[in-house]
Structure 1
Amino acid sequence: MSILLPAKPAIRRMRPMVVSFGSTLTPFLGGPTQRILRLGTRFAMRVTMPPMRAEVGRQWTSALARGTEAGVLMPIVQDIDVGNPGAPLASAAVTAGMLLPIKGLTPGYAAKDGQFLSIVHNGRRYLHIFAADQVANGSGVLNALIWPMIRTGLSVNDVIEIAQPKIEGGLDEAFEWDVLTEPWIQLPDFTIREDA
């Protein structure tokens, strides 16, 4: 089970990154290039933390050290007011594509292009973004255009986290930290990369 990272202190900076499994075919005789899309494109997040007092820093170092083996789970910081999306769930089984049928939204909820959401299926989170401005109907239903492509089969009533989406994955590098003399702890930047 992934380790939930502490809520405080707030992160200083989060840098989303796209990990693409597509490729570009470039003809050797100068013709047009062709982009090949492949299932599996996902996100990674580079995180910068502020210096923190040792008693708080120990909670972070413990969670990240354990997370090197178990994986970590961290809420996504967004630069918009996401409002009250309600209690969204998948309204149908989905096997592929970029259309996510959602029920349980607040009627008239307006999802914004580029806004993050996470889908929980069989206990694992998959991070996506809304791929256009979209509004739920009066019944709280929305057939949402999302990106990247859905990379696992989804079931009816899978939870969709819009109010507080999260990234779940492994740490990209060996975890280490600095213990300063004040006593303060300074964590190095770390990257969470979705595993699935």
Structure 2
Amino acid sequence: MIELPNDPAPNGAAPSLLDYGMTLRPGSGAAILRVDRKGSRYRVNVSYPPMLPSVSRIFIARLLKAKREGLRIPYPLIDVPQGSPGSPVVDGAGQSGTTINLRGLTPGYAAKEGYWLSIEDENGQHYLHNVSETGRVDASGEVALSITPELRWPFEDGAAVHLAKPMVEGFVDGNEWSWAIPVNRLIAIEFTLEEAG
């Protein structure tokens, strides 16, 4: 799994939810029906500021390699810190649905609606989720968080949860990836990263 340098940081991000559910619209005029299915995930279009060639060449080399091997980057929180959550882990194996039980958090910590987290499976792969309802950690460091999308992996008990620095992991999207080399030699890089799992 390829990781990019920390500097420079992204200067923009456009996340989108890839929804594998569907809305059924009957031809008879009856009520519409929402069918949710597992597998919904995120795709993020990420842009970086113009870079000198000495910096951009490293980004380009790693992104080219990431087309084959995959890419992991911090989810761009863009100056919205998510506090000091402690060392959260999954509390109980094989959970499913849109609620995840966690332990090991800082008592009193609030995982606010709209916060992001990634859960790391036993192979080191991250799965990105959004907190859909504020959850406050109890005195024993435990909380049940409502998340979007639905869990898509049966995480083991004790699997690491990244709230302070959530990660998005997958593959650079598309059959090709290109960059411009302008006259001023400052190279701006943009790519789309789609979660693999």
TM-score tier, shorter chain, comes to over 0.9
Counterpart in 1 of 2:83?
83
Percent of matched pairs sharing the same residue: 32
Find the aligned partners of 2:132 and 2:184 in 1 and give their Cα distance.
46
TM-score (norm 1): 0.95
1:39-78 superposed matches below 5 A: 39-78=38-77
Once the two structures are TM-superposed, the CA of residue 155 in structure 1 deviates from its matched residue by: 0.6
Aligned-partner residue type, residue 180 of structure 1: P
**Structure 1 unmatched ranges of 5 or more:** none
Counterpart in 1 of 2:186?
184
Counterpart in 2 of 1:17?
16
Aligned-partner residue type, residue 195 of structure 2: E
Once the two structures are TM-superposed, the CA of residue 9 in structure 1 deviates from its matched residue by: 0.8
Aligned length: 194
Once the two structures are TM-superposed, the CA of residue 179 in structure 1 deviates from its matched residue by: 2.2
CA RMSD of aligned residues (A): 1.1
**Secondary structure, counterpart of 2:187 in structure 1:** strand
Find the aligned partners of 1:180 and 1:134 in 2 and give their Cα distance.
48
**Secondary structure, counterpart of 2:168 in structure 1:** strand
**Secondary structure, counterpart of 1:170 in structure 2:** strand
Counterpart in 1 of 2:157?
156
Alpha-carbon contact 2:90-2:157 (below 8 Å) kept: yes
Counterpart in 1 of 2:139?
138
Aligned-partner residue type, residue 52 of structure 1: M
**Secondary structure, counterpart of 1:178 in structure 2:** coil
CA change 1:100–1:138 in 2 (3 A) is same
Residue 194 in 1 paired to residue 182 in 2?
no
Once the two structures are TM-superposed, the CA of residue 88 in structure 1 deviates from its matched residue by: 0.5
- 1:130-150 superposed Cα distances (whole Å, 9 cap, x missing partner): 110110001111111111110
TM-score (norm 2): 0.95
- 1:139-186 superposed Cα distances (whole Å, 9 cap, x missing partner): 111111111110010111100000000100011121221223443222
Find the aligned partners of 2:76 and 2:180 in 1 and give their Cα distance.
25
Alpha-carbon contact 1:180-1:186 (below 8 Å) kept: no
Find the aligned partners of 1:90 and 1:149 in 2 and give their Cα distance.
15
**Secondary structure, counterpart of 1:131 in structure 2:** strand
Once the two structures are TM-superposed, the CA of residue 94 in structure 1 deviates from its matched residue by: 2.6
Find the aligned partners of 1:62 and 1:164 in 2 and give their Cα distance.
24
**Secondary structure, counterpart of 2:63 in structure 1:** helix
